[in-house]
Structure 1
Amino acid sequence: MHALSFAKGHLDTHIIAIERTRNKFEAFSKLAAVDHLENLSLVHADAIAWIVHGVAPDTVDEIYILYPNPEQHNSNQQWLNMPFFEFLLSRLRVGGKIILATNIEPYIDDAEQQAVVVWRLSTERRLVATDSQRTHFEIKYLARGETCWQLTMIKPESYRTRFDDWSKI
């Protein structure tokens, strides 16, 4: 839902929407076909594998991670605890943002701490508006009266990762 509405509202921006599961991808493809949005690319793949091969360093303005499974019993599988998060940062342009949304307060607390302490990113944390409708999960959580949070992490100037220049690896 988010990719479609974002693409409709930002026709001058190229959007890449990646979905791993077949059912969700097929449903998404049907919805996207109705609008024929030329600025929206649909990808049926695992996001991590596809990004490694399909996205060059310093090329992305925003990455949205909306309502991921927080893997509460395995913190090594949480986005900001994975080595892959550094790879995502290498794909962002200076000033680029990673936007994480969740309805689980301990998860957003941990993510914010990791962003600041480990990744040295500036952050902006806010509540998600009660009328937001970016994903089916968000609609469901807000309709139940749950609080949802958004953490925006911003890549600063002169930020370097091990993945910025492949020739040095």
Structure 2
Amino acid sequence: MTDNIELTHQQERAFQPQRLSAPRDFILPSIIGENKNNLPLLLEIGAGKGKHALGFAVRNADKHLIAIERTRNKFEAFAKLAAIQASPNLDAIHADAIAWTVHAIKPNSLAKIFILYPNPEQHNPNQQWLNMPFFEFLLSRLQVNGEVILVTNIEAYMDNAERQATKVWCLPNTRYTVATDSQRTHFEVKYLARGETCWELNMRKPEGYKTRFDEWQVGHISEDK
């Protein structure tokens, strides 16, 4: 793909980040402004009880993961385990991922984004991640050649995500079948133990990719270096 890629969806309704207030008790993680070791920054949306995030932090000391969970009881379980593990390369965040990302993440700063077993929103497909205007904003936070990893056990969800990634978001992508012995999340363990098929979609942001939010950020992170 070449410079000045024009996204199909840019003719559609745009996400409006300026309308979102910061989450309650919002605190900017120190890694956002003080990444002294220049670690690759990764984001997990919908971390649940933290199985993937905790394991990833242990196996990848050379990367820093910010893992967000909105549901209180799941986050509290995650936070307890994170406190015990005390990995310096993991931030556990209790917040709505959309508002938090708008107020915390700089443009072109994420090496990878994990969306593992999201709510399939079968009765409200407009809320599926790749159907949302917010997805354009999320891509603006991703570095060139950065990746979005989406995993689901719902074939229709994956079919739509693959179609949207290709036709709307113009992202090079590859679809995989998850190995039967994979154990990244509690959902993954459960689904595979029941003999269900799980799918992974790996999407990459190519050189020259443009969004309408490549220069947009809120004031409290605009002066951070």
1:19 pairs with 2:57: no
Superimposed CA distance per residue, residues 40-64 of structure 1 (whole angstroms, 9 cap, x where no aligned partner): 0111101111000000000001101
Distance 2:57 2:161 in 1: 27
2:82 aligned residue: 32
The percentage of counterpart residues that share the same residue type is 68
Equivalent pair of 2:113/2:147 in contact (CA under 8 Å): yes
How far apart are residue 166 of structure 1 and its match?
2.1
73-82 vs 147-156, which deviates more? Answer: 73-82
1:122 pairs with 2:172: yes
Q: Which is higher, the Rg of structure 1 or of structure 2?
A: 2
Counterparts in 2 of 1:1-150, with a 5 A limit?
A: 1-150=51-200
How far apart are residue 84 of structure 1 and its match?
0.4
Indicate the RMSD between aligned Cα atoms, in angstroms. 0.9
TM-score (norm: length of structure 2): 0.73
Distance 1:87 1:152 in 2: 18
Q: Runs in 1 of length 4+ with deviation above 4 angstroms?
A: none
TM-score (norm: length of structure 1): 0.96
Alignment size in residue pairs: 167
Distance 1:35 1:78 in 2: 32
Higher helix share: 1
Superimposed CA distance per residue, residues 111-150 of structure 1 (whole angstroms, 9 cap, x where no aligned partner): 0000000000000110111111111111110000000000
Q: Letter of the 1:55 partner, please give it.
A: I
Distance 1:45 1:134 in 2: 22
